[in-house]
Amino acid sequence: MADHTPARPFDILTPVVWSAPVVFNSPHSGRWYGEDFLRLTRLSPTALRKSEDCYVDELFMGCLEHGAPMLRAHAPRSYVDLNREPYELDPRMFQGELPGYVNTTSPRVAGGLGTIPRIVAEGEEIYRGRLGFAEALSRINRIYLPYHRTLAALVDEVQKNNGAMLLVDCHSMPSSALASFAPAAFGPVDIVLGDRFGVSCDEDVTCMVEKHLVAQGLTVLRNKPYAGGFITHTHGAPAHGRHALQIEINRALYLNETTLEKTPEFPPLQKALTAMIAGLLPEIEARFVPRRLAAE
């Protein structure tokens, strides 16, 4: 099988001084669309990008200035979705019967948004025809599993060094997704924080993040319409010192949602998120001091 993978399907960006007990993760901002993928799809590159969390890695790049690393994908979400179980696959996409260990019944699979998505965000079918199961296995083995091994190792290392840690899972959402969730009196929603209703992140940690976002003039909702996904479910265990919080940014804040080009509001939002990080990280570090001392 031809290699669809760029030289690096993901990478870790590390700060000069790695001091914060926080990891930033950007699994859906990958924008490398290989020729072999483009030959399989019936869609244009622009249509494929409708599922992409465009430039989210760039929005949170300020974490490096303040002592926190970032893991970011280069492979796009429409090629392999890193915020799913490893084998959530839609049997309608594949030739022949899938193995018994494949999850074919999850709500995400039913919606066409499994580990290998069937559709892009606006409901358009991605592929010209059915794929072989070997194609799915190749993407999972080359990209998905190494990505998650890397993320787990990063989380383990930060927790080992600090006693506790916070994983910030960074995403963006179409503005249309918010239409039925924000009360009219609330006004436009800028950010949705997902802590799985308190299961993946302690309330006080979520409150710290919310406080610093609001201080930058951003409006924040929690858990609606996005409460967190596979990554926050996997890594969020507050009782064991692992907090995982999903951040969804309204794309209308920084992106032309038709052309997918950055708007003039991109730099101010990036600056606001960097200021949020600068205020948040010292508080998180102080919050985790007792666990760090216990780990020494």
Q: Mean pLDDT throughout 71-85?
A: 98
Percent of the chain with pLDDT over 90: 88
For residue 242, what pLDDT is reported? 97
The pLDDT-based confidence of 185 (bands split at 50, 70, 90) is: low
Percent of the chain with pLDDT over 70: 93
Q: Angle formed by the axes of helices 266-287 and 203-214, to 10°?
A: 150
DSSP assignment of 51-63 equals GS-TTHHHHTGGG
Domain ranges of the chain: 10-80+150-295
Domain 10-80+150-295 has CATH 3.40.630.40: yes
In whole angstroms, what is the distance from residue 125 CA to residue 60 CA? 31
For residue 183, what pLDDT is reported? 59
For residue 2, what pLDDT is reported? 38
Q: What is the mean pLDDT of the chain?
A: 93
